[in-house]
Amino acid sequence: MSRTRLAGMSPTARAWYLAEIAYLSERNPVAAAKVSEKMRIARQTLAEYPNIGPSGRSPGTRRLVVGSYILTVRRHRGETEIIHIRHGRQTEKSKD
């Protein structure tokens, strides 16, 4: 059985994601499970199609909207990596 490839996450993106899932799990476990599944699907899609989504604000980045979240993605050492995640209602910073 082959393992499904997933796009990686930078330490900052992973920490933000895990904190968001923990926050959601305390308040609405069903919503947390849905966000987690959408993110898994997005990571799988990014691994297969690394150039999906429009170009980001910084050179070499792309953006992908996943539900209410905006992912900033780059190619790093031949792999696709999510480098920043934010909720669509959060103020945009110059990470992408």
Could you give the CA distance from residue 2 to residue 71 in angstroms, rounded to a whole number?
A: 27
Tokens 């190619």 belong to 75
CATH code where residue 35 lies = 3.30.2310.20
Q: Is residue 76 part of a domain?
A: yes
The range of the structural domain enclosing residue 82 comes to 8-87
When divided into structural domains, the chain yields a total of 1
Collapsed DSSP state (helix, strand, coil) of residue 83: strand
Whether 93 is in a domain gets the answer no
CA atoms of 56 and 94, how far apart (whole Å): 10
Look at residue 2 in the predicted model and tell me its pLDDT: 55
- How many angstroms separate the CA atoms of 4 and 27, rounded? 30
pTM of the model: 0.87
pLDDT tens readout for residues 36-84: 999 999 999 999 999 999 999 999 999 999 999 999 999 988 899 999 9
